Amino acid sequence: MRSGTANLPLHTGRAPAWLFSRMVRLAREITANIVQEYGSDEVLRRLADPYWFQAFGCVLGFDWHSSGVTTTVTGALKEGLRGTEHELGIYAGGGKGAVSRKTPGEITAYCERLSIDARPLVYASRMSAKVDSAAVQDGYQLYHHAFFFTPSGGWCVVQQGMNDDNGMARRYHWLADRVRSYVNEPHAAICADAQAPTLNLVAAESDPARVHSAALARERPRVVLAALKELPVLSMPKRHAVMIADVNAQHLERILLKTYDRAPDNFESLLGMEGVGARTLRALALASEVIYGTAASTRDPARFSFAHGGKDGTPFPVDLETYDKTIEVLRAAVNKANIDRSERVKALKRLVNYGRAKVLKRMEGSGGPDEKRDAGAPS
């Protein structure tokens, strides 16, 4: 399974009510079918795959290339799961903007009902956001964070940042099964069309910089500040001009006094400290290179649209007849719990054939499949 990043263009507008209500119902039926066939943990694995997630959004009828697919699809899925969490074994928290800050409380409330320890899940939510906002400095500011988990302790994260300068959004996927360390290659794979100038403190090759950054955080602030003062006269790689920009010495000193008092054991403990953000880590990484010669990595850790169409008419307007038929067939497949598995599979295959016939009909009327693929959809 892939998990990693995806770059998407920022789009204005939102899903109209008539489409979003259908997205909620269809997301619920698709999820229920996956749970019946493969179990709830499989849903997490698929959500953590940026390719599958993008395809999922397109099947739901949203724009295949829009940044809004992230917020709208996770919102529709969260709403679709509401009231079915116990039955399907999947719980969802978070969302866009201020809603994302409610994630720890939502996780805790669910865990209290399930009588399980919320702390590891809350920690996973918090650290995944902290890594992608502070330890991976790629110019994208996080504004969306969605967290999905199962009672067995499995979880996945789908979060997104935006870059106002290039008009793009970048989506970050996490999967518990793939995380061996929060600070060493936590993303299992990369899916990105464009590279970004990046300070990547969670790259494997950044391990010496992480070790020395944590060591410097335990030192008196004057050690770091003295090293940073020497930067203007050093012949450093051009990337450092970006990394050291707008570091406020007084603010940095206050944070370094806090890290000195608390003496974090390692980089993960340092990253988890309140107040330690991108600028502090950037300064520590620079100072560690000056003092120890350990440079941090600048490696960037960073299509399916013919099912029901898209809200902006790309590749064609949403086909309401097919959309409603999809919901009907999927619901029937789930509700007929008494029929054996082979019959359920046959029902799903009938759905696929029905959808394929509609797609081919659409393609024949608009230039053929080759023309559509050239427009950006995969074969």
pLDDT score of 243 more than 50: no
Q: What is the pLDDT of residue 372?
A: 34
Q: What is the pLDDT of residue 87?
A: 95
pLDDT class of 108 with cuts at 50, 70, 90: very high
pLDDT class of 306 with cuts at 50, 70, 90: very low
Count the helices and strands in the chain (H runs, E runs). 16, 7
Residue from 155, 43, 37 nearest 94 by CA: 155
Q: How many CB atoms lie within 10 A of CB 287?
A: 24
Of the ranges 54-63, 146-155, 291-300, which is most confident?
146-155
* CA–CA separation, 332 and 324 (whole Å): 12
Sign of dihedral through CA atoms 114, 115, 120, 123?
A: positive
* CA–CA separation, 90 and 147 (whole Å): 10
pLDDT class of 39 with cuts at 50, 70, 90: very high
Q: Average pLDDT of the chain?
A: 79
Q: What is the pLDDT of residue 75?
A: 94
Which of the pair, 334 or 261, is modelled with greater confidence? 261
User: DSSP letter string over 288-328?
Assistant: HHHHH--PPB---------SS-BTT-SSSB--HHHHHHHHH
Task: Classify 18 as helix, strand or coil.
Answer: helix
Task: Point out the least confidently predicted range of 80-89, 117-126, 284-293.
Answer: 284-293
* CA–CA separation, 271 and 132 (whole Å): 11
* CA–CA separation, 356 and 361 (whole Å): 9
- Note the pLDDT tens digit of each residue in 149-196: 999 999 999 999 888 887 778 889 999 998 999 999 997 554 555 677
**Identity of the residue numbered 228:** L
- Note the pLDDT tens digit of each residue in 59-103: 887 654 555 788 899 999 999 999 999 999 999 999 999 999 999
Instruction: Check residue 149 and report its DSSP letter.
Output: E
Q: What is the pLDDT of residue 98?
A: 94
